[in-house]
Chains A and B, each alone.
Chain A
Amino acid sequence: NAGVTQTPKFQVLKTGQSMTLQCAQDMNHNSMYWYRQDPGMGLRLIYYSASEGTTDKGEVPNGYNVSRLNKREFSLRLESAAPSQTSVYFCASRDRGGMNTEAFFGQGTRLTVV
């Protein structure tokens, strides 16, 4: 079982470049999430999609955009990368059962902006 798959695993960008982080889940989950993980700050929610066709801002949405392409895929785009966006990015998904169900995480994308 693949679960949640993120690509790429590593990326180095120059300031001002753009890129898209891809995420796909094969568990037929309704909700999908993008988090960033920074030392001492835990995971902070960037954007989420409660169901196909909807997206909403999380705690730290500035500088990012998302697309829920279909039920399986949820991408995160950096239009003009900044050094402050150097982080580890995690995609997660959750079943329709509600907020008492666990979230399943991908392996992460380690992004460095120079």
Chain B
Amino acid sequence: AQSVTQLGSHVSVSEGALVLLRCNYSSSVPPYLFWYVQYPNQGLQLLLKYTSAATLVKGINGFEAEFKKSETSFHLTKPSAHMSDAAEYFCAVSPNTGGFKTIFGAGTRLFVKA
């Protein structure tokens, strides 16, 4: 069975600092991986996704993530945090060998300090 673990329920960074949000997955074969962002009182929006093409994936708003099979990780980074990045971020995994269930991590809330 697939699962996804996000390390750290809360992350706080200063404006202009590096953002690093961690995600590890468990799957018998490399799945499809996603990062979604949720702003207050809204639904989730896709930031980026990995679908077995390039291992370094670039998304919207300057975010990127690197798929590392050896570490079963898909960490999200942004070189310089902006106040508008404050939100909750979810890592998600979908099967690439059949099935329709997308499993989400518990989420990481990002705080950006001025």
Binding site for B on A (CB under 8 A): 4, 31, 33, 35, 40-45, 48, 50, 56, 58-59, 90, 92, 99-100, 102-103, 105-108
**Closest residue on chain A to residue B31 by CB atoms:** A99
Q: What sequence of 0s and 1s flags, for each residue 79-114 of chain B, a beta carbon within 8 Å of any chain A beta carbon?
A: 000000000001000111001111111110000000
Number of A-B contacts (CB under 8 A): 60
**Minimum C-beta distance from B51 to chain A (A):** 4
Does B90 contact A102, Cβ atoms closer than 8 Å? no
Interface segment among B12-20, B42-50, B61-69: the answer is B42-50
Does A99 contact B32, Cβ atoms closer than 8 Å? yes
**Closest residue on chain B to residue A4 by CB atoms:** B43
| A106 to B101 Cα, complex, angstroms | 18
Chain B: interface residue total (CB-CB under 8 A): 26
Contact residues in A for B107 (Cβ distance below 8 Å): 40, 42
Binding site for A on B (CB under 8 A): 6, 9, 32, 34, 41-46, 49, 51-52, 90, 94-96, 99-107
Does A99 contact B99, Cβ atoms closer than 8 Å? yes
Does B96 contact A100, Cβ atoms closer than 8 Å? yes
Does A48 contact B49, Cβ atoms closer than 8 Å? no
| A100 to B51 Cα, complex, angstroms | 6
Does B100 contact A90, Cβ atoms closer than 8 Å? no
Does B95 contact A99, Cβ atoms closer than 8 Å? yes
Listed from nearest, the 5 A-B pairs whose CB atoms lie closest are A105-B43, A99-B94, A100-B51, A43-B104, A42-B106
